[in-house]
């Protein structure tokens, strides 16, 4: 039974989980994100099951794994006939709105033309049936952003935003919040599902000058797994300065949205889910950007917050180790609104973490999250081959390439992934256990990927090393 609560998804692009002051990053101050987490539930082990923009988004809206969402990589299009979370909300009487980056329409509409990718038009029947959709397919130019779409029945022609992307898109969201507040004062209380999807802190790492002024790359503290190579560290410092500036701007705009909700008396009726599509390596393990299974690429911020004061209507607050994945976001969002996920959704509903008095776990809570890179990505600063993996609630990660074990880490002891145990004899028993679990995930999801056959064989006497894992 729906409870009439509103939902805002605030989606950042390429923001890794540790890039918040609350998460221990010494380089940045994010008071609004910190407060959202403090007053809500912070999923400390959230992952991007496919650390690449387009596949993540295809799975996000459909709650299907990447191999079945029709968006296995960049330049692929979401099948417009595929059901999405927006359809469920519309059936429940919600107003549905989308603002910002889409990145699910592929390159086909412009192939063979001279259309600038920034100006690619997403056809109305390919906007997942949002009642309002003002956005763009893809854009790596936050100071020169073109949007188009429709606002209800009103068509919005291709228009250049008058200002920095995140600021202007947030202005649009706040304008709608004001309109909902006015409706509420008239006794009209239609609930809404609103998505704000911004390009920052995705490269290019340039923010408005007042934010750039706060960061000097030479004074930043790099992660311990950034190797001591001059070119790598120089690039990391240069790009991180802008990256942190962009996140600070995102944080300020989150604060603006929360302030508008309070002013319009909507704050106690609105769930805010803040997350990103994947992380960013910034030199860790000598790599940049994404598409690999290392922590910096797959770990994302994921916060369910919104209502204040703390504990309002029995809302839970705190941190959880649940390994929420990108396919879980849609059913979890529906659960927050008292709506059961339809059978076609593959993900798990974690809404009980926020609403323990209203929602209960359905079946066994997953002990692992499934990770995928389905096709080559052409990202030349990272891993460019298919792989599959799992991360476990008890702190292990295991990853295979085609018919070959590749990576295994005990994240409890080795959070920076400095010791690969995948081929270590003393870790053979745990490796066989994780390999069997990964095989089961491939089978369970209907994926097609060859996981190697591994079995644990104990060492015979006189092997006498006493250390165990």
CATH of the domain at 271: 3.40.720.10
Domain contains 300: yes
- Dihedral sign (CA 34, 277, 14, 285): positive
Beta carbons of 359 and 335 less than 8 angstroms apart:
yes
* Boundaries of domain holding 408: 386-444
Locate 337 and state its tokens: 């609104």
Backbone angles phi, psi at 368, to 5 degrees: -140, 160
Q: What is the pLDDT of residue 463?
A: 47
Beta carbons of 271 and 194 less than 8 angstroms apart:
no
Domain contains 362: no
Question: In terms of domains, do 205 and 334 share one?
Answer: yes
Q: Which helix (H) or strand (E) holds 168?
A: helix 165-185
Domain contains 360: no
Nearest-angstrom CA–CA distance, 214 and 341: 43
Q: Nearest CA to 398 among 354, 434, 347, 360?
A: 434
Nearest-angstrom CA–CA distance, 463 and 457: 13
Our count of domains for the chain comes to 2
Helices 230-263 and 165-185, packing angle to 10 deg:
20
Q: What is the pLDDT of residue 465?
A: 47
Domain contains 218: yes
Q: What is the pLDDT of residue 464?
A: 46
Domain contains 469: no
Distance between alpha carbon 63 and the CA centroid of its chain, in Å?
Answer: 13
Nearby residues of 41 by Cβ (< 8 Å), 6 or more positions away: 303, 304, 305, 316, 317, 318, 319, 320, 353, 354
Domain contains 458: no
Question: In terms of domains, do 182 and 320 share one?
Answer: yes
Q: Nearest CA to 298 among 278, 281, 284?
A: 278
* Per-residue pLDDT tens listing for the chain (469 residues): 577 799 999 999 999 999 999 999 999 999 999 999 999 999 999 999 999 999 999 999 999 999 998 998 888 889 999 999 999 999 999 999 999 999 999 876 777 677 787 888 999 999 999 999 999 999 889 999 999 999 999 999 999 999 999 999 999 999 999 999 999 999 988 999 999 999 999 999 999 999 999 999 999 999 999 999 999 999 999 999 999 999 999 999 999 999 999 999 999 999 999 999 999 999 999 999 999 999 999 999 999 998 765 566 678 889 999 999 999 999 999 999 999 999 999 999 999 999 998 999 999 999 999 999 998 877 778 888 999 999 999 999 999 999 999 999 999 999 999 999 999 998 999 999 999 999 999 999 999 999 999 876 665 555 444 455 4
Locate 292 and state its tokens: 């690999």
Question: In terms of domains, do 345 and 412 share one?
Answer: no
**How far apart are the two ends of the chain, measured CA to CA in Å?**
48
Count CB neighbours of 23 within 10 A. 18
Q: Domain boundary at 304, 330, 353, which? A: 353
The bridge status of strand 192-197 relative to strand 270-276 is unpaired
């Amino acid at each position: 039974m729906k409870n009439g609560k509103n939902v805002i998804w605030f989606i950042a692009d390429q923001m890794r989980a540790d890039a918040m002051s609350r998460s221990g990053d010494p380089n940045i101050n994010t008071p609004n994100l910190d407060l959202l987490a403090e007053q809500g539930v912070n999923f400390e082990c959230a992952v991007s099951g496919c650390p690449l923009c387009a596949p993540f988004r295809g799975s996000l809206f459909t709650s299907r794994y990447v191999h079945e969402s029709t968006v296995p990589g960049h330049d692929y299009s979401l099948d417009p006939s595929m059901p999405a979370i927006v359809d469920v909300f519309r059936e429940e009487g919600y107003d549905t709105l989308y603002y910002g980056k889409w990145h699910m329409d592929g390159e086909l509409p412009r192939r063979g033309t001279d259309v600038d990718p920034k100006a690619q038009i997403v056809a109305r029947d390919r906007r997942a049936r949002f009642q309002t959709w003002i956005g763009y397919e893809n854009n790596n130019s936050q100071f020169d952003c073109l949007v188009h779409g429709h606002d209800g029945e009103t068509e919005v022609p291709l228009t250049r935003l008058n200002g920095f992307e995140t600021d202007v898109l947030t202005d649009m969201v706040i304008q709608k919040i004001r309109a909902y507040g006015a409706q509420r004062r008239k006794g009209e209380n239609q609930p809404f599902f609103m998505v704000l999807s911004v390009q920052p802190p995705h490269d290019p790492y340039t923010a408005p000058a007042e934010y750039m002024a706060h960061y000097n790359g030479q004074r930043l503290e790099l992660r311990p797994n950034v190797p001591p190579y001059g070119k790598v560290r120089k690039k990391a410092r240069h790009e991180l300065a802008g990256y942190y500036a962009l996140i600070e701007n995102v944080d300020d705009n989150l604060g603006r949205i929360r302030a508008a909700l309070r002013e319009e008396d909507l704050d106690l009726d609105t769930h805010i889910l803040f997350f990103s599509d994947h992380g960013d390596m910034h030199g860790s393990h000598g790599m940049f950007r994404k598409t690999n299974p290392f922590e910096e690429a797959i770990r994302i911020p994921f916060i369910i917050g919104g209502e204040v004061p703390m504990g309002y209507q029995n809302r839970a607050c705190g941190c959880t180790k649940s390994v929420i994945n990108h396919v879980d976001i849609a059913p979890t969002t529906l659960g927050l609104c008292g709506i059961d996920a339809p059978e076609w959704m593959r993900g798990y509903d974690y809404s009980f973490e926020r609403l323990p008095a209203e929602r209960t776990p359905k079946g066994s809570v997953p002990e692992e999250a499934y990770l995928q890179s389905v096709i080559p990505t052409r990202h030349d600063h990272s891993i460019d081959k298919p792989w599959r993996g799992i991360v476990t609630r008890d702190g292990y990660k295991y990853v295979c390439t085609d018919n070959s074990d590749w990576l295994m880490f005990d994240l409890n002891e080795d959070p920076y992934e400095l010791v690969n145990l995948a081929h270590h004899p003393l870790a053979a028993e745990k490796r066989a256990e994780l390999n069997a679990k990964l095989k089961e995930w491939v089978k369970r999801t209907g994926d097609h990927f060859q996981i190697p056959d591994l079995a644990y064989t104990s060492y015979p006497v006189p092997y006498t090393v006493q250390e165990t894992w």
